Structure 1
């Protein structure tokens, strides 16, 4: 699965929030009322998120801030689904599905014993549940080398690590992206940090 990335480096897209859970809902599930849910994709044939199969015919698909298609999504991608859930609580209809990787950039470190990677100052934790894109061989942490460009989707844990649900390789030149909580904001020096990444704005 390939996603189109810009051919030139345009900077860091910083989202001033952290992902810490599996689901955020609005409305009453099972009533047909509007529902917004955040979770990793577990299957297709429609799209399965948080145990619900959402029909996606006619849904707007967004990939990294650009219009996309369902074919660009992968199992393990963390998405936001806007739609409704039927009375059975197991099926629904999506009107909008959006995906944005938590971090996209060059791998600085690979630590096989601890099953961690460092990308743009963010520590990425690989687990038995992490889905590796078909372009990564072998399909585990040893298939990723320092200097490779990757995009990681997942959830932050209480230690500030990004627990990877999906990892894919990217073209060498692409848009850098970091999602996290702003720390050590210095309005005089015009700097702040996102974990170990120091940003000069």
Structure 2
């Protein structure tokens, strides 16, 4: 997992819960990196899972809820770091449906060794989108948070339904319907 995911996560934890919480979850987690991350480094996903688990225990927020909030924060990071990227789109459904064919292609240019989830578009209309998410990391709530912020970015609203196709969350169906 790319280091920027870790550095931005710890920044969010500091913003929302304070520097002491950052120190606490780092100290309580099993981290081969010792919690020292660079944005361009690559780290094992187990470290993120350990940080999330310990933050969840300390805050009584579920890992899914934490991932949702984190994704909304991360969308802002993308917007600030790559402003031209968001300007390529005029519509949230267009942007979300291009995850695999465009967005992940661009991410791989920046981070060639990035391990990204797979998104398969099953059905797309002007006002709806059905996608299948597949990832061994089961971070579908992170994806949902990015989708929420995409609609917000375009001053639009949507209902995003999540259906686990595999109980462990490694395969999920997103059904997105633009609100009128």
Answer whether TM exceeds 0.5 for this pair: no
Larger strand percent: 1
Bigger RCO (CA 8 Å, 6+ sep): 1
TM-score by length of 1: 0.26
Higher helix proportion = 2
Report which of the two structures shows the higher radius of gyration computed on alpha carbons: 1
State the TM-score, normalizing by the size of structure 2.
Answer: 0.28
